[in-house]
Structure 1
Amino acid sequence: MTHSLAASTLQQIRDGWAGEFDVPVEVFAEPGSHTFGRDDAGSLVVVTLEGAQVAVGTPEAIERLQTLAPEHRADVEAVLTVLHGLQPEPLGSASLSYVERVLVPTGIEVAVGPVQNVDMLRDHCTQEEWDESGLIDMPARVAARRPDGKVAAVAGYERWGQHLAQLGVLTDPQWRGMGYAAAAAARAAQVSQNEALVPQWRCRVGNTASEDVAQRLGFQRIGHQLAIMLG
């Protein structure tokens, strides 16, 4: 994938994922497929960053995954087929994007700190949207406010180890497409960068609205994640 991320940023991204997987960071710098079987794994996760693909799962799941060519190991349907009998439940397939210089929208009031009315915003969205935002695990929140002062969108981030900030954003359905999500997410990304973290935008494949916001803020897609729970 073509991108302009600095080598130091890429190293932080690799370090972050290596820490999440508890694997040597070198495997994310080496092109090709790398697999790790864990007896205590409850899922199969496959992450591709540039030319390196790393999979962690139960030994049986890894053995079955290896029957697929590496280029098919990010395909949900193909992976589910080889996992037949292990009670696989897809958690999702997502793109992984990162940014160094955040492109900040103007003209929208953004507040950092305790955010009120989050429960009201949550009530206006579906449970799936709330879960996908990940805000429940993100204590550092930023609010973008409507002209009347009420919250139109909330963004936050969850710290992943020493290097990554996993971003999340949720917007009131009545105020979508007006720049509020971008304004809140941009400020959350900047706050995370003040802590020397690399903002990470993990977007479910097919969520074009989320992809559009990420691109508007300058995020660059360099990877992909597939996650499947095992029974």
Structure 2
Amino acid sequence: MPMDLLLARARGLWEDLAQAPVSFASSGSVNVVVSPRSELCPAGWVGVVALGGSAIVTAPSESAAVIVRDALGRLPAEAVVDSAAVRAVLPVARVLGPAALAYVSSGSFRPVGDGALMTVEQLSAAHPDVRALEQRAGREDAGEAALDEITSPAFVVREHGRVVAAAGYQAWRRGTAQIGVLTEPEARGRGLARATGSAVVAHALAAGLLPQWRARRLASRRVAGALGFEELGFQLSVELV
């Protein structure tokens, strides 16, 4: 898929999630809209998504939108997802992100080869071995992967009978597959995330879905890059004081 079509599909997804009429306009633009039901961020927060050089922003109320529109209008589009830059112009209580947004097409996907020295097994999304992995990984990492929300099977790697890595996806709007990958802390750095991630991306592409890899941590972003994902932008959520 050409990069402009990949970007168009990604933008269409986030425009839908804004839950209000808004679009990514010309390069450098930042469009702010009032949307109490926005899915760009937690309820009551300000949601910011920048893709391909322009950004859309949702605010929970008209009064918040006035403040946000004035403040973010002073920043270039690429800076509206920079938490430090946003804190400098807005009264911020809490921030989530920024998280990189990366996408891959079947033509650019680089799967792990069949010769990999590990077996990827397929389990049901609710399998207790996946829940046990989440408990060992800890609340923060498990929450980031959100394997408890996947609608696909779970693709896992076992060591000594125990699931040490798992991946799956949640079916989002616009035919998007939101990828989640989780590896036990003691098993990281050995290619397990890439192996399970490769399996779940192949499953999503075979179903005609657009894989989306959303990550804050550099290690996760590197795994996505190794699989052929292209970072097209970032997401940031802001709670105002």
| TM class by smaller structure | 0.7 to 0.9
| CA offsets 1:145-194 (integer angstroms, 9 cap, x no match) | 23534312111111220232111111112221111111111111121122
The offset of 1:195, in angstroms, is 2.4
Asked if the contact 1:43/1:230 (under 8 Å) is kept, the reply is: yes
Aligned to 1:37: 33
Runs (4 or more) in structure 1 with deviation over 4 Å come to none
Asked if the contact 1:144/1:181 (under 8 Å) is kept, the reply is: no
- Where does structure 1 lack aligned partners over 5 or more consecutive residues? none
Residues 149 and 39 (structure 1), Cα distance of their counterparts in 2 relative to 1, 3 Å cut = closer
Percent sequence identity over aligned pairs = 31
Aligned to 2:71: 65
Give the one of 104, 111, 114 matched to 2:111. Answer: 104
Give the one of 7, 10, 13 matched to 2:4. Answer: 7
CA distance in 2, matches of 1:223, 1:172: 28
Alignment of 1:189-208 (within 5 A): 189-204=201-216, 207-208=217-218
Asked if the contact 2:72/2:86 (under 8 Å) is kept, the reply is: no
Residues 140 and 196 (structure 1), Cα distance of their counterparts in 2 relative to 1, 3 Å cut = same
Aligned to 1:187: 199
| CA offsets 1:54-75 (integer angstroms, 9 cap, x no match) | 1111424423433532243222
Aligned to 1:228: 238
The offset of 1:210, in angstroms, is 0.6
SS of 1:88's partner is: strand
Alignment of 1:38-53 (within 5 A): 38=34, 40=36, 42-53=44-55
One-letter amino acid of the counterpart of residue 90, structure 2: L
| CA offsets 1:101-147 (integer angstroms, 9 cap, x no match) | 32222332112341441122122112111111122221323233235
- Where does structure 2 lack aligned partners over 5 or more consecutive residues? 39-43
CA distance in 2, matches of 1:48, 1:9: 15
CA distance in 1, matches of 2:12, 2:201: 19
| TM-score after normalising by structure 1 | 0.85
Alignment of 1:138-149 (within 5 A): 138-149=150-161
Asked if the contact 1:99/1:218 (under 8 Å) is kept, the reply is: yes
1:83 and 2:80 are equivalent in the alignment: no
One-letter amino acid of the counterpart of residue 81, structure 2: A
Alignment of 1:148-167 (within 5 A): 148-167=160-179
Name which of structure 1's ranges 105-114 and 195-204 shifts more when overlaid on structure 2. Answer: 105-114
1:210 and 2:210 are equivalent in the alignment: no
Residues 64 and 7 (structure 1), Cα distance of their counterparts in 2 relative to 1, 3 Å cut = closer
Aligned to 2:41: none
The offset of 1:43, in angstroms, is 1.3
| TM-score after normalising by structure 2 | 0.82
SS of 1:188's partner is: helix
One-letter amino acid of the counterpart of residue 33, structure 2: G
